[in-house]
Amino acid sequence: MVMNNRQHSEIATDAERKSAAPATKKHIIREYAESIIIAVILALIIRTFVVQAFKIPSASMEDTMLIGDHLLVNKFVYGLKIPFTDKRVLKIRDPNRGDVIVFEYPEDPSKDFIKRVVGMPGDVVQVINKKVYVNGMLYQNPHEVHKEPDTIPEAQNPRDYTKPVKVPENSYFVMGDNRDRSYDSRFWGFVKNDKIRGLAFIKYWSWDREKNSVRWSRIGRWIE
């Protein structure tokens, strides 16, 4: 059997197509796999060093933040924490009084807490009849609220009365804005600098679970 040049060319072209198809498919799969891997790595880097999302589960920061508010935390403003160490690098600034911070809960590091910085390193903090004094001066934050009129004696618990305490070096005294319903430094002590995850700065989503509706007015609001 004799094939002419045209028949030979067509057979060769078909063979090339068949051999090329699997290679092209493998190339596409490889591209997708590489893209996914790169995206995962970037997401991990961003989550570890840049910003991280958190959800508010309790009422301790009302009315600044409500249950169901979702917020972003700036993780580099206080410096990038070197993994498996207590050191930070490329720090922009230290936490300031009034900052709303997210940190590892001292009594259970697997949990994250969110509170407002009240006492700085070296400050002497005391609560008297629900009022906070820093270095002997009354400290009032415009976001603090009191939702329970009763006063609890110091002998019972330190919610409304505490002894004066000096904030240690590299540590902070923190409190919830909802002063009567916050479990904070009055009860368990100070937050160490190396346990701070970052500065809460914006609410990007808010869901009212009681009404099953979105709180549109809270989305995109800066945290002060």
Q: Model confidence over 164-198: pLDDT tens digits?
A: 999 999 999 999 999 999 999 999 999 999 999 99
- In the prediction, which pLDDT does 1 show? 43
- In the prediction, which pLDDT does 7 show? 42
Read off the tokens for 55. Answer: 């959800």
Taking the C-alpha atoms of residue 109 and residue 121, their distance in angstroms, rounded to an integer, is: 22
- Rounded to two decimals, the pTM is 0.80
Greatest CA separation for the chain = 109
pLDDT value at 205 more than 60: yes
> Is 19 an annotated catalytic residue?
no
Amino acid type, 116: R
CA 59, 61, 66, 71 torsion-angle sign: negative
Alpha carbon 24 to chain centroid distance?
43
Q: Catalytic residue, from 60, 171, 182, 206: name it.
A: 60
Is 56-222 assigned to CATH 3.10.450.50? no
Comparing CA positions, the residue from 57, 74, 61, 78 lying closest to residue 195 is: 78
- In the prediction, which pLDDT does 85 show? 73
> Is 87 an annotated catalytic residue?
no
Per-residue pLDDT band at 40 (split at 50, 70, 90): low
Mean pLDDT of the chain: 85
Q: Catalytic residue, from 81, 115, 195, 203: name it.
A: 115
pLDDT value at 120 more than 70: yes
**Burial (CB count <10 Å: 0-12, 13-18, 19+), residue 208:** middle
10-28 pLDDT, tens digit each? 444 554 444 555 556 667 7
Q: How many residues can be counted in the chain?
A: 224
- In the prediction, which pLDDT does 101 show? 97
Share of the chain above pLDDT 90, in %: 68
pLDDT value at 126 more than 50: yes
- In the prediction, which pLDDT does 42 show? 56
Per-residue pLDDT band at 218 (split at 50, 70, 90): very high
Residue boundaries of the structural domains of the chain? 1-50, 56-222
- In the prediction, which pLDDT does 59 show? 94
